[in-house]
Each structure stands twice: as C-alpha cells, then as structure tokens.
Amino acid sequence: MRTPNVEVHSGVSPWELLDPHVHAVEEREQDVVATTLFSAEPRTAPFEAIRVSEGEFSQRSPAFVFPFFPHEGSGTSVYVSAVDSIGNRWSDFEQLLGNAQNFSMVSGGDSKPFTIPLEDSKTKTTEFQVPVDTHYRNFVVVMDELPPGVDLGGLTPVAIQGSDATPEVCLRLSSGYIGIGDSVIVRAVVTPVQAQDIKVELKFSEKVRKLSDINQDLITVTIPAGKEMSDPFKFNIIGGYNSDVSGYVLGVPDVAHAHSDCLCPNLLLDPAPSITLSASPNPVVEGQSVTITAAMSYGIPIDQTVPLHYPNPQDTAVDPGDYTSLASITIKAYNTKGSGQIQTHKDNAGGGYREFTVGIDEGNLQGPVYHHVGDPEKVKITIIDDDLPALHFVSAKSSVYEDVGTHYVSVDIDPKPVADFTFSYTLGGTATNGKDYKTVNSVTVSVPANVGSVSIPIKIVDDGEDEHDETVILTLVSGGTKYRLESPSEHEITIVDNDEPLARFVFEKGRVKEDVGTHNIDVTIDPVPVSSFKLCFEVSGTASSGQDYIIPSSWEIQVPAHASSAKIPVVIKDDHYDEHEEMVILTLIPSAGHKLGSPRKHELTIVDNDVPRIGFSLYSSNVTEDVGTHDMSVVIAPAPVSDFTFSYTLGGTATADSDYTITSSGSVKVSALATLANIPVKIIDDQLGELDETVILTFTAGTGNGLLKPSIHKLTIMDDDHPRIRFVSAKGSVNENAGTYDTKVTIDPAPVSGFTLNYSVLDGTATGGSDYTINNSWTVSVPALATSVNIPVKIIDDAEIEPDETLLLQLELGVGYNMRNPTEHELTIVDNEYTPYARFASAASSALEDTGTYEIEVLIHPSPASDFTLSYTLGGTADEDSDYTITGSGTVSVSAGSKQVKIPVVVTDDSEDELDETVILTLTSGTGYSVGSQKEHTLTIEDNDTPAAGFALVESSVLEDTGTHEIEVRIDRLPASDFTLSYTLGGTADEDSDYIIAGSGSVLVSANATSVKIPIAIINDQLDEVDETVILTLTAGTEYSVGS
C-alpha cells in the first residue's frame, strides 16, 4: 500500500529552505509533530532542513518543484501511525532520508490543488483519493522515491506547514459591473478557517456612497469561528453620472492577515440614463391638447421628476392666452417614459398658426440623474387655427377588384371653406401608376367654396395578369395656412387580383446545341397555386420526335401545390449529320386549375453541331510584287448545307493598303454546298527597294464553322526591285544513267554585282548519297550580269530494279536577290532497268446504287513510251447487265506517257431491297507491261433501298379478359435479310401488372417478310379501374426506317 499523507507542522518557513543566499549547509534538528491524514494520533519525528543548492524545476506536480537533497549520513526519520482512522492496519516502517532517492519539494502559495492516489499494491486498485490543498502560503510538499527492496514503492508525499501560518482574508462581490437600480452583495471570506471570529470593517469610496443608498458610517461584517464566509451586506445603486464611473470597497480585518488585492475589489457603474422630449400631435389644432413625453434611455428604481421651462421669448404663442403651461413630468420607477398635457386655447380670431417652445429645465433637474440631458431636450409646438378647413379621408382603407373600373376615394372638409382652394396628395404602395391604375386629375384636387366633401377618382386597370394583390396609398399633404389635416390623412386601396394562377414560359425562344443532352424548358407559375394541377402542352416543329428529340413526359407535367416554377425536359439526340437548324415548338394548352399567360409558346431551336470546317490549301506561298492579284485557296469540308461567313485576322510585316489590299477584308461568304473558296489578295508593286514582306492570315472559329489544318497561311511578297531568281520549271526528269543533271535557275534582271544563291534539298523517294549527290553547302555563286545559273545534281546508276524516285530542290531567301515562282523543282530519276507496270490505286471501294458511273483508277509506272492494251477479268456477286455494265468489258487502252487510266463502271439502280453486291476486277499480264502487287480491286455496290415499318392501325382496343392481343406492323418492301425492329412503351397501363410483352422493346423481322406481329398478353386483374392504355412507338434503326 502507499503510505498515507503525512502532515508535518514545523516552525521552519519554506522560504528559508529555498533561500539562495545560505552559503553553507545548516542543520536545524527539531522535534516536530507528525500526523497522518487519516488519524489524529501524533508522532514525534525529527526534521532536517537542507537548502536548495542545484537542479532544475521538476514537472512532477502542477506546483513549482525544486530538487531536495538530504546530506549523506543523516539519521532524520519520519514516522507514521500504524492504524488509520477507519481501522486498516499499516505496516510500521522507518524511512531513512539518507537512503532516499529523487527527493523533490513543492513550495506552496500560488500552486493549484492536487490529489494523491492511494493504491493496494496487490490488487492495483485505488482505495482512496487524498486531496492536497496548496492554498496555504507557508507549506512545503516533500516527495521521494524509496530505493528498491522497500515494500512501499512510488511517491510518498509529505506536507510541511509552518505553525505560524497567517490567514488570508478577501471580499467577494455579487457583481463588479452595475447600473442604477442594481443591488450589490458583499461577503468576507477567510483561508484557512479560523478558531476565533474575525470582524471586517467595510469602507466605500466617495462615488459609491454618493450613488448608493448606504447611510451608515460604520459597516462591519463578521466571519464566525469555524466558518469560511460572513453573512452578506447588501446595498443598492440609486444614482449615476453622464459617463461610466468606478469605485471600490475596502475590507479592514481585525486580525493579522496576509495582504492581498482581493480585500479591495473595484466597482464599475453604468452612466445615468439620458432624457429627451417629444410632442404629439404636432401641429395641434387650437382648443385641443398636446401630449408632452419625457423618455429615459433605461428605467431606474425610483420616480424621476423632469422639470419643464419655456425658454424662447420670441415664440408667437403665449401663456396663458394661447395655451396653459405644464410645470413638470414624472417618470415612474422602472418606467422609461412619462407624459403630461398642455391645453391650447381657442381664440375664434383666425390668423393662421402660432408656435411655442417647451424644454427640460436642466438647472432644476433633481434626483439620480446628474447633468445628462439627451437630444432633443426641447421641442417646438405649432398651434393651428381651427377656423381653417380640416381635411381627412372618410375611411382609412378600401378594397376593390381589378375589374371595378373607376374607384372614388372620399375626402371630408369641415368647416366648409369660404373660398376656393387646392389640396395635394402623394401616391405610394405596391401598385404601379400607369400600369395598375391611373389618376384622373394628377395629384391635386380643387375644392370650391362651401363644399363639405370631394372625391378623388382612381381608374383601376384590369391588366389580365395573374398577380398578387397590390396597394395604392394616398397621403394628404399638409396645407400650411390654407387648410389643416385630421386623421385619417392616409387612405390605402387594395386592388384584389381576379385571376387564377398563371402559367407561362419564361422565354419565348431557346437555342441548344445538338450534343447538350437533356434541356429543361422553364415554366413560371404566378401566383403559386394552392393545389396541384396538370400542365398540358402540344409539340410541333421541323424537328422529328424520336429522331431529333424525345419528350418523356407524355406531353403533360404535374405542377405541385405552392410551386413557383416547373420544368419540361427535352432529350436532344446528337445524330452526327450536318443539317439545318431544327425547331421543337411547345405550346401550352388550357386545362383545369390554372390560366395561361404569355408567352404560351416556346420555340426551341436545335443547333447542329456538325459545322463545316475551313482550312488553307497550303501552309505558305510566295509571290512577286508585280503578280497583281493572288488567290489564297480555302478548303471547306464537309460541304455546308447553307450559306455562312467565316472570319480571319491579318498580320505579318506587310502593310495593308500600301503593300496589298483585300476586298471585304476580314470575312468571306461561302455559298451552300461549296467545297472551295478564294481570298483574293491584290499585291501593290510599289517600286521601292525593300525586304520581302509577309501577309499572315489566321482563321478564327465561328458559330457556323470549325477549323482544319492549316488554319494559318503565310504569303511572302517578294520585292521585284532586286534580281529575281526562279527555277526554269517546277518539275524535271532524268534517266538513271544520265550522269549529271543541271537544274537551271534564271536571274532577272541581271545583277550588277555577284551574290550567293541559297537553296535546300529534300529527299522524296530518292535518297541522297545512294541515288544522287549534290554540293553539301547548298549554295551556288552567281556572278555579276549573269542571267542564269545551274545547280548540278549527280545521278547514281545503281543497277537495281526499282520505281522512279524523286527529290525536291527549294530556293531559299538570301542577300541581294528576291524569289519568284516556281521556287521549287521536283526532279524524277527514271529507273532504266524495267518496263511499265500496272496496279490498282486501291484494293477496294464502294458506291451507292444510285451513283451512276463509278470510275476505278489504275496507276501506270513508269509512263509508257507507246500505247498498250491493259486486260482484266470480272467476278463478284453482282450480275453484269442487271446490276452494272462496263463498256469494252475486259480491256482498257493506255496511251503513251500516261500515268493512270480509269475503268468506268455504270451502276444500275434497281429499286429492290437486297444485300450489298460486289464487282471484283483482276488485272492480267499482257504485252508491253507487267502487273504490280495490287492487281485486284473489289467494288461494293451498296443497296439504297431499306424497308419502312409502320403500324397497320393507329389504335385498337381489347377487353381485359382477351388474353393475347397482337398488334400488326407492316413492312413496305421485302427485306433482304433479317433485322430487329425496336419500339418504346408508354401509356397509363403498367407493364407486368396490366400486361406482359415477351422481349419487350424489340421484335425480329425475317427476310422477305411483309409484316410482323407484336403479341401483348393482357392480364385480367379483377380490379375495378378506369380504362388503361399501352402506347407503342416505333423507333428508327440502321436497317430500316419508320413510316406512318
């Protein structure tokens, strides 16, 4: 078991133990009284005090911990009782400090209380929790760890408290922040509890006494012996200043005590409330009373008298002739307002209005409020002559329906005026003037003499819109000396809407791209309906249901109660065809529970996303300054279905208008079905010696077109005021055994000085080093006055049988010359080892049945020196004469020098639905040529006659006990092969509970069938119910179309 706490009372102060100025170890052997926490049985034990000489603070307890080292050889011992207070026996033991390890000491004063657990060493369970209160100032807690072998392991806490410990006395307040009317409770507390009474005198600061109900000179509270706290002393705050003030309470105990700030707590007092004045009614009609109200910012616990005075001697109203003054106003305890009345006098003399001023008499303001008057502290009151006509509405409110026409609002006038006058009014409310109502006479009304009432006509507009009730508020405007106002001076007209909830499309039109997926068309409902209703609509337009879009809601949607909007989902189908924009038109149709507003028609345009794309034919081109107009070719694919305009931007080093011009610069209009377009660039020959310049055109994507590569074209304008170089021809050919081939370049005009001409060489099918050699520097010197120069190409005769091969020479820009077309020369090296051979350009091709004549290309290489006849055979599944014809079938003539020949096949469009058929052409060897590797070509004739499927009847009906009902679908022409016909299901009947369709959604149509039947098994469910429908909708497929 752990030892119980041992409390050792000693005259040794812990501060002496910790004194750093003790230079030598000083032994103070004393007899001390040691008792356990569980027993009052005393034991005598010597205690040895050792100064703290080294070490750091330990973290073993939440209090400050210092190392405590007993000096070696000490015989000091601490004994504990053998029996605790509840009868448990502890083993007697003696603890020798000389053998102890890891001593530490906790100094009291500011540390927090902690708990010592006492465990059973066998069961490892906690038996007791011993609290250690560190609130006492003079104590030391000593803790040690016993050496191995001692039965009592762990920490043994020992508390040391001086026998002369001084009590600590404090004051406790119920609150430190208070205002007028609050109570404060003061108590005195002592630590530790004392054996005798302690009296504590309470002293209050001057401000606290002045603002409270404390009237005693001497106030004392007593802490009884054996008690920790005194009885309470209570006082109340009854006054305040115009800002926060602070005070204090000081406690003076009649015993020696530890000094602490807690004996003098502070009090913070709220500022006094401010007082303001107001008057109502103001202006006041003579002979009537006006109420003067004094208001405080917060209530106080006592009555507050507010004295009044009349400070303005220039006032036109006087007391007592025009009114009887009021001396003061009383605000009752805990209230924030008080009032009194000033009676005005009727003089029957006329004369318009008079004024007087009433204010708070701050100099005579008494009580808890000191010099704190708010704003306003005075108010000016106007007395109106009661001989003026008084105007007021006959009633404050009225209500009319939207279709009432003109509504008249009556105004009473009393007394009747002796002369004509005009009064005005203002308009307000939620209704809009001009839209919801109209005023006949603007906002002024003429009143004739001797008339007691007039009417203001308001014309209510029945706008036919479903809307919330709206209001028109008329407010009479004060008339000064002409008339006065009485209550009610305001009249509110409620215009009650006479329309049901109104449903309308949010927008008249919408546009979506073909690949949008599902598009919701918004419908607004206003006002919100109190119950649900069905919103029905019709569908029309150029788009085809099922092919271009699907509306899954059966052309009606349910609008729930209190909904302010609804959505109609339209599933857009992306069909990948380049086509015109198509339109789906939804038109709302009347049904129960609502009305229709505008727009009731919504046009949804489906924008085709398969736009034509544009690109330049070439990445770059070169022209000379004197070329005139140069056309830049633009390719368009696929061909557009309608006219469109594409745009481009201009850049480069050339300057528009001085170096070139482009008509309608920046855009080009393309006609429907066009596959090519030109951008004409007119080049200006400026006769200036200058560097070559560029025009860079860049296409921009638009709503009607996409982009192909290249989308940028660089046009180089070559200055023609320098010598211009160009190849004599764009192409040339040379036999393999010719030796050296001179590629001729012309120079015009002849240069006045020599220059170096740059060029580059690109391999085509020929390979440099094995098929030809050329100067590695790729330059040639041009002497002065030369008009031409040759670029020599050495041809290598390699004795291999091979196709003709090509290489490309390109002129490059340099110093001292410009370039003209052609700037490229393609040289063909003709093989000298074999005769021409023939081969098809491709292995296969296809054509629709309605193509007409289809040409199959045969390539000849090299070009023959003389004419020869090329032979071929025919095969395949197509029948000659009935499916196709070929003039001169089996042979075709090839002219000398030809590189290709075409075999024309005339395809017969026979209007039969049949399988695709083939024509197989096979080249055969003959005189003057050989046959290449691609000697066979298969032409597939694609049938263009697909069957169309349609229901035999638009509708049919059966009884529930029919069993199986078959719905016939007719095929308009015999299909060449089996195909699967698809359909969708709808209607009010439920699949599985009302009917069953085997293979629901599709049915197999056999080859050569003229019809097919869809079997529906009707379920007789023995339920009494309304008739139900099954709606089958055929959907288009790749092997058939849907008819009507």
What six digits make up the tokens of 911? 């209007």
Of 470, 474, 445, nearest to 460 by C-alpha is 470
Residue 726: the pLDDT is 95
Cis-peptide into 599, omega within 30 deg: yes
Residues 27, 134 within the same domain: yes
Residue 150 has pLDDT above 90, yes or no: no
Confidence of residue 268 (pLDDT cuts 50, 70, 90): confident
Is the pLDDT higher at 34 or at 229? 229
Residues 68, 195 within the same domain: no
Report the length, in residues, of the chain.
1044
Q: How many domains does the structure of the chain reveal?
A: 9
Domain boundary among 496, 525, 556: 496
Is the pLDDT higher at 638 or at 24? 638
Strand-by-strand arrangement of the 1002-1005 sheet = 1002-1005, 979-986, 1031-1035
Measured distance CA(1036)–CA(947) in Å, rounded: 11
Measured distance CA(51)–CA(478) in Å, rounded: 95
Instruction: Quickly tell me which residue has 């001409």 as its tokens.
Output: 757
Residue 396: the pLDDT is 94
Residue 833: the pLDDT is 66
Confidence of residue 165 (pLDDT cuts 50, 70, 90): low
Residue 201 has pLDDT above 80, yes or no: yes
Residue 656: the pLDDT is 92
Torsion region of 876: left, alpha or beta (phi above 0 gives left; psi -120 to 50 gives alpha) = left
Strand-by-strand arrangement of the 406-414 sheet = 437-439, 453-460, 406-414, 390-393, 484-485
Residues 178, 91 within the same domain: no
Residue 123: the pLDDT is 56
Residue 689: the pLDDT is 57
Let me know: does 258 contact 168? Beta carbons within 8 Å. Answer: yes
Per-residue pLDDT of 770-787, as tens digits, reads 999 998 789 999 999 999
Q: What is the DSSP letter of 136?
A: -
Average pLDDT for residues 644-658, to the nearest whole number? 92
Phi, psi values for residue 254, rounded to 5°: -95, 15
**Counting Cβ atoms within 10 Å, is residue 344 exposed (0-12), middle (13-18) or buried (19+)?**
buried
Residue 137 has pLDDT above 60, yes or no: no
Residue 586: the pLDDT is 94
Residues 327, 425 within the same domain: no
Residues 886, 929 within the same domain: yes
The answer as to whether 1 is a domain residue is: no
The answer as to whether 972 is a domain residue is: yes
Cis-peptide into 368, omega within 30 deg: no
Residue 118: the pLDDT is 45
Confidence of residue 367 (pLDDT cuts 50, 70, 90): low
The answer as to whether 332 is a domain residue is: yes
Measured distance CA(780)–CA(790) in Å, rounded: 8
What six digits make up the tokens of 964? 């199986």
Residues 752, 878 within the same domain: no
Average pLDDT for residues 169-177, to the nearest whole number? 86
Instruction: Return all residues near 386 (Cβ < 8 A) that are at least 6 apart.
Output: 285, 286, 287, 346, 484
Let me know: does 837 contact 871? Beta carbons within 8 Å. Answer: no
Q: Choose the weakest-confidence range: 352-361, 501-510, 724-733.
A: 352-361
Beta strands in 113-224 (DSSP E): 114-119, 126-132, 139-145, 155-162, 168-173, 177-178, 183-191, 198-204, 219-223
Phi, psi values for residue 536, rounded to 5°: -105, 155
Let me know: does 946 contact 886? Beta carbons within 8 Å. Answer: no
What six digits make up the tokens of 819? 């370039």
Residue 365 has pLDDT above 50, yes or no: yes
Percent of the chain with pLDDT over 90: 41
Please name the amino acid found at residue 95.
Answer: Q
Average pLDDT for residues 595-602, to the nearest whole number? 92
Residue 144 has pLDDT above 60, yes or no: no
Of 728, 722, 757, nearest to 745 by C-alpha is 728
Residues 131, 188 within the same domain: no
Is the pLDDT higher at 406 or at 39? 406
Any idea what the CATH number is for the domain that residue 861 is in?
Answer: 2.60.40.2030
Measured distance CA(797)–CA(486) in Å, rounded: 124
Domain boundary among 926, 942, 958: 942
Of 492, 489, 494, nearest to 412 by C-alpha is 489
Residue 351: the pLDDT is 57
SS3 content of the chain, % helix, strand, coil (to 5): 0, 50, 50
Residues 40, 156 within the same domain: yes
Is the pLDDT higher at 803 or at 96? 803
Q: Which helix (H) or strand (E) holds 44?
A: strand 43-47
Q: Choose the weakest-confidence range: 507-521, 710-724, 957-971.
A: 710-724
Let me know: does 673 contact 639? Beta carbons within 8 Å. Answer: yes
Per-residue pLDDT of 64-96, as tens digits, reads 333 333 333 333 333 333 333 333 333 322 332
Measured distance CA(828)–CA(344) in Å, rounded: 125
CB atoms within 10 A of CB 625: 24
Domain boundary among 445, 461, 496: 496
Residues 913, 841 within the same domain: yes
Residue 53 has pLDDT above 50, yes or no: no
The answer as to whether 533 is a domain residue is: yes
Per-residue pLDDT of 89-132, as tens digits, reads 333 223 323 333 333 333 344 444 444 444 444 555 554 454 44
Residue 395 has pLDDT above 70, yes or no: yes
Per-residue pLDDT of 538-564, as tens digits, reads 999 999 998 899 997 678 999 998 899
Residue 615: the pLDDT is 93
Average pLDDT for residues 348-356, to the nearest whole number? 71
Residues 670, 776 within the same domain: no
Residue 807: the pLDDT is 94
Residue 714 has pLDDT above 50, yes or no: yes
Q: Choose the weakest-confidence range: 67-81, 295-309, 637-651, 1029-1043.
A: 67-81
Residues 373, 308 within the same domain: yes
Beta strands in 350-403 (DSSP E): 353-360, 378-384, 390-393, 397-401
Residue 244 has pLDDT above 80, yes or no: no
Residues 456, 577 within the same domain: no
Residue 598: strand, helix, or coil: coil
Average pLDDT for residues 376-387, to the nearest whole number? 82
What six digits make up the tokens of 1042? 């849907």
Q: What is the mean pLDDT of the chain?
A: 80
The answer as to whether 311 is a domain residue is: yes
Is the pLDDT higher at 376 or at 1038? 1038
Confidence of residue 928 (pLDDT cuts 50, 70, 90): confident
Measured distance CA(108)–CA(160) in Å, rounded: 10
Residue 677: the pLDDT is 92
Residue 426: the pLDDT is 93
Per-residue pLDDT of 177-188, as tens digits, reads 777 778 899 999
Average pLDDT for residues 803-831, to the nearest whole number? 90
Residue 349: the pLDDT is 61
Is the pLDDT higher at 601 or at 800? 601
Task: Show the DSSP H helices in 703-763 as ranges.
Answer: none
* Domain span holding position 520: 502-607
| Angle CA 389–393–396, to nearest 5 | 150
The answer as to whether 78 is a domain residue is: yes
